[in-house]
């Protein structure tokens, strides 16, 4: 039995994590939307909202994370002390725990790991408060890798997380700056107060009132030179970053690819 688990009346639960780990002697379908798989206990896929896959697939996803060059620097074991959870902002407002992430990775619990890739990883704030870990773990870093694999595999959680985010991806990859002054629209940020409306109404004038010459732009954060942008496009294409988009948003990928190839062609750059 794994550390931190206890047997209670025929049911194995994992202390403190809030995840039931299995029903000893129970049927595969527990009748409450839950399914038993080995020693794991999951939501029925119809309830969970993501597709269940064969164990071998889950193993493959786990291996994709584990074989990343960064992984050995991010995981050294787990004391189960919970310091990472105590300092984690996402743990306060979501059913999310960096400790569960580190534990699933350390135990090679590929089934739980898959569930986390479909349910948990997009809740992480990526603040890296969890690197306070006394073992030197970096749960936030493990999640960064898990997210990359989720994108590369076109997982449902990745597609869902990036719904509504495609314009940001378009902005950063096509213009070289992540956010722009003209994003400050009252209908996009009604919760940021009336100042957003003021900025939006006076945007062009107020940008021209900024003394640094590079900041007179409205569609980008600053004036990025043409040559710089072309170099950025080459980076996205040469490193496979552009191709990653195809797995989660095919139309966005098509638009970005066209923008970049057209610009490179204009410059006479062959790939």
Partner 1 sequence: MTTRSATPVSVILQKKQHFERDPERLPVDFHDRLYELEAAGELVVQRPPDPTDVVTVPTKYGRPKVIPRGHLWHHKSCGQCGHIPGYSTSIFWVMRKLGYEYHDPRDQTSCTAWNYYASATSNPAAQAAVALRNFAAAYESGYYPLIHCATSYGHYKEVRGELLRHPELRQQVRQVMDKLGKPMVLPEEIVHYSEWFYAMRDEIAARQVRDFSGIGVTVHPACHYYKLVEGDAIYDPDVYQGQRTAVVTGLAESLGAEVREYSTWYDCCGFGFRHILVQRDFTRSFATMRKIEVMKEEANPDVVLTHDTGCVTTLDKSQFAAQAHDRKVGVAVMSEAQFAALAMGAHPYKVCQLHWHSADYRPLLEKMGIDWRQAWAEFEDEVKRLERGDVQYLTWDDVDAS
- Positions in 177-216 near partner 1 (CB under 8 A): 177-181, 183-184, 189, 191-193, 195-196, 198-199, 202, 205-216
The two three-digit tokens of residue 195, written as one number:
């100042």
Phi, psi of 5 (to 5 degrees): -105, 160
Report in angstroms how near the CB of residue 12 gets to partner 1 at its nearest: 31
Is 231 a binding residue for partner 1 by CB under 8 A? The answer is yes
Is 106 a binding residue for partner 1 by CB under 8 A? The answer is no
Is 73 a binding residue for partner 1 by CB under 8 A? The answer is yes
Is 265 a binding residue for partner 1 by CB under 8 A? The answer is no
User: Cβ contacts of residue 160 below 8 Å, gap of 6+?
Assistant: 122
Point out which span in 27-35, 47-55, 100-108, 124-132 binds partner 1 (CB under 8 A): 124-132
Q: Is 90:96 a contact under the CB 8 Å cutoff?
A: yes
Question: Which residue is associated with the tokens 């204009």?
Answer: 266
- Pairing outcome for strands 20-23 and 34-37: unpaired
Is 65 a binding residue for partner 1 by CB under 8 A? The answer is no
Q: Among 14, 113, 122, 133, indicate the residue that binds partner 1 (CB under 8 A).
A: 122
Is 54 a binding residue for partner 1 by CB under 8 A? The answer is no
Is 251 a binding residue for partner 1 by CB under 8 A? The answer is no
Please report the DSSP string for 88-132 in residue order: -HHHHHSS--HHHHHHHHHHT-HHHHHHHHHHTGGG-----GGGG
CA 220 to CA 211: how far, in whole Å?
16
**Under rule CB under 8 A, which residues in 145-174 are in contact with partner 1?**
147-148, 150-151, 158, 161-162, 164-165, 168-169, 172-173
Strand partners, 43: 34
Point out which span in 5-13, 38-46, 102-110, 118-126 binds partner 1 (CB under 8 A): 118-126
Of 15 and 239, CB closest to partner 1:
239
Report in angstroms how near the CB of residue 176 gets to partner 1 at its nearest: 4
How far are the Cα atoms of 152, 158, 178 from residue 248, in angstroms, in the given order? 8, 7, 19
**Under rule CB under 8 A, which residues in 2-41 are in contact with partner 1?**
none
CA 97 to CA 121: how far, in whole Å?
10
Of 107 and 132, CB closest to partner 1:
132
């Amino acid at each position: 039995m794994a550390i931190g688990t206890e047997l209670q009346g025929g049911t194995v639960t994992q202390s403190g994590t809030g995840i039931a780990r299995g029903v000893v002697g129970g049927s595969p379908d527990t009748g409450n939307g839950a399914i038993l798989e080995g020693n794991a206990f999951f939501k029925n896929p119809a309830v969970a909202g993501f597709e269940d896959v064969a164990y071998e697939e889950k193993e493959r996803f786990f291996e994709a994370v584990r074989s990343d060059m960064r992984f050995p620097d991010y995981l050294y074991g787990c004391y189960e002390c919970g310091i990472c959870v105590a300092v984690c902002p996402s743990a306060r407002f979501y059913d999310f725990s960096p400790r569960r992430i580190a534990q699933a990775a350390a135990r090679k619990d590929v089934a739980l790991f898959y569930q986390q890739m479909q349910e948990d990883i997009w809740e992480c704030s990526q603040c890296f408060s969890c690197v306070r870990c006394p073992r030197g773990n970096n749960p936030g870093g493990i999640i960064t890798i898990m997210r990359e694999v989720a994108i590369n595999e076109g997982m449902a959680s990745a597609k869902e997380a990036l719904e509504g985010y495609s314009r940001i991806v378009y902005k950063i990859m096509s213009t070289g700056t992540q956010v722009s002054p003209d994003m400050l629209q009252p209908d996009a940020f009604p919760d940021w107060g009336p100042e957003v409306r003021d900025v939006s109404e006076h945007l062009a004038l107020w940008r021209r009132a900024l003394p640094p010459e590079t900041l007179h732009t409205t569609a980008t954060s600053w004036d990025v030179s043409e040559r710089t942008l072309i170099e950025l496009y080459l980076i996205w294409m040469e490193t496979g970053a552009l191709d990653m988009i195809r797995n989660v948003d095919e139309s966005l990928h098509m638009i970005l690819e066209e923008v970049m190839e057209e610009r490179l062609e204009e410059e006479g750059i062959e790939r």
